[in-house]
A and B are shown apart, each in its own frame.
Chain A
Amino acid sequence: MSPAELERPLPQPVTPEAKPYWDGLREQKLMLPKCQDCGHCFFYPRILCPRCSSRRIGWIQSSGRGRLFSFEISYQPLNKAFKVKPPYVLAMVELEEGPRLMSNLVGIAADPNLIRCDMPVEVVYEKLNDEFTLPLFRPHAGVGGGRA
């Protein structure tokens, strides 16, 4: 797919400290930075631990499960480079490992009466091109009484 046909702006500029994150997604793995001293798992990737300031940062693979911490429904395109047809769901997901990240909720109608905060979600991978795959999330009928 040529860039002109992409539905989404590519992530840029990619920072060197985030390379393991993007490399993992290419292999359908959601990788998260984790402090090797205090064990704090965090996001976005950076060169030190925001809890204990340690510079010893490793990586773990996330379960890909979490909860929809908050959401919005966009009814109009706000960025010309983003061509997904509205309405679509903007999502803040809190992963089981603790960190929160922004994404989209897919696999459910973009209706505020159907979507609720704290519903269980799981990752699905959206390949943009050979270099970039994004983690999106869909409802997951998991422990905690979630509904799809």
Chain B
Amino acid sequence: MKALSNSACIVGVDESDEIGILPNKSQLALHLEAITNAVRDAGLKVSDVDGVFTAGQHSPSLLGEALGITPRYVDGTTVGGCSFIMMVGHAVAALHHGLCDVAVISHGESGRSGVGVTRSRDTSLSGQFEIPYGFAGAPTYFGMITTRHMHEHGTTLEQWAQVAVSTRKWAVLNPKARNRDPITVADVLGSRPVCYPFNLLNICLVTDAGGAVVLTRADRAKDCAKKPVYVRGAGEATEHVMVTQMRDLTHSEATRMSGEKAFRMAGVERRDFDHIMLYDAFTSGPPIMLESLGFAKRGEGVHFFEEGRSTPGGSLPINTNGGGLSYTHTGMYGIFPIIESTRQLRGECGARQVPNCRMSLVNGMGGMLSAAGTLVLSSER
């Protein structure tokens, strides 16, 4: 793993031309917009791409066909929204071993409008054992983790609300964010109850968008258009799919393992990070991830948000794009935190730029803390 550290770089990132509610764009179009934009950001051409990585409904071979290329390396790992984060590690390994030279990781999802989408999911176990009781959609599963966390660790609805408030403060500074009006804890607690313990403002947006990330080997990255961002560490793990099977309902073992692997490969400590991106499908997610990653004791992850460490001007900015809660969330959000970390490390973020941002952590979940991917990204080798 050490040999892979810093061996490849992120050289291009971008969203689709627009993000938000896009009833006139197919899911495939969102992929292709994002890929062409990210390849242009890297100063490369689509014909340079020879490795295609994607998760979700469209296969990497479909993207290759649509782009008019014949990739010699593909990866379609689909284990939830963190798949794209895991794929950065997969791409680094493939690039290091010469299995491809220019890798693109692509996400496109018409999650809100459903354009060019076939609704089909693997529900074989859920259909037997969950759906007859009224389970439907992520809030009815992630709430179980959240309620149990409140019971075991004394966390409160007010504390979860602080996560939404902190994240919205960043969205105010991001012109691409969907919801940009400041909110208070009272606004979150007073928003429409959806599924206890979640009100509407505890739950991410549902949008249409694409995003793509381009990587190449470090020796070649120097010739690209932008300052390279080094992939210093990468780790992944999966634990469960059904939330009843999670060993400890308030701790994500997949998250812990992915973090340990990434930190070891990178040779960094938790105190070395200037910036953190966490997968915020629900307000309770980021605090539990911080606990599982070892940044906080059990029940104390919320302190990062309550004490203002996570907010603009704070000592450890978290979710600076406005997150899935306020910027965009298509369904499989994991590509977007990689894009934001890259932009922060390049210093491209304008009003929301984190000063002297040199080391960034990306951690995301798939499913209900079922799978996890962690990246250590750095502006320096």
Contacts and interface: CB of A to CB of B under 8 A. Distances in A.
Contacts, number: 114
B183 interface: no
Contacts of A90: 133-135, 140, 143-144, 195
A44 B245 CA distance: 9
Chain B contact residues (Cβ within 8 angstroms of A): what range? 20 to 34
A14 B124 CA distance: 8
Contacts of B121: none
B134 A104 contact: yes
B128 A102 contact: no
A102 B148 contact: no
Interface string B133-145: 1111101100111
Given A9-B132, A90-B133, A92-B244, A72 B124 contact: no
Contacts of B192: 75
Nearest to B149: A70
Interface stretch (A26-34, A77-85, A138-146): A77-85
Nearest to B246: A100
Contacts of A18: 128
A102 B136 contact: no
Nearest to A128: B132
A12 B127 contact: yes
A55 interface: no
A73 B228 CA distance: 47
Interface of B: 124-125, 127-137, 139-140, 143-145, 147-148, 151-152, 192-197, 242-245, 249
Interface of A: 8-15, 18, 43-44, 69-76, 78-79, 81-82, 84, 88, 90-92, 99-104, 112, 116-118, 128, 132, 134, 136
Given A44-B129, A100-B244, A134-B133, 16 more contacts: A8-B133, A9-B131, A13-B127, A44-B125, A70-B249, A72-B144, A78-B139, A82-B134, A82-B136, A88-B134, A90-B143, A91-B133, A101-B129, A102-B133, A112-B196, A117-B148
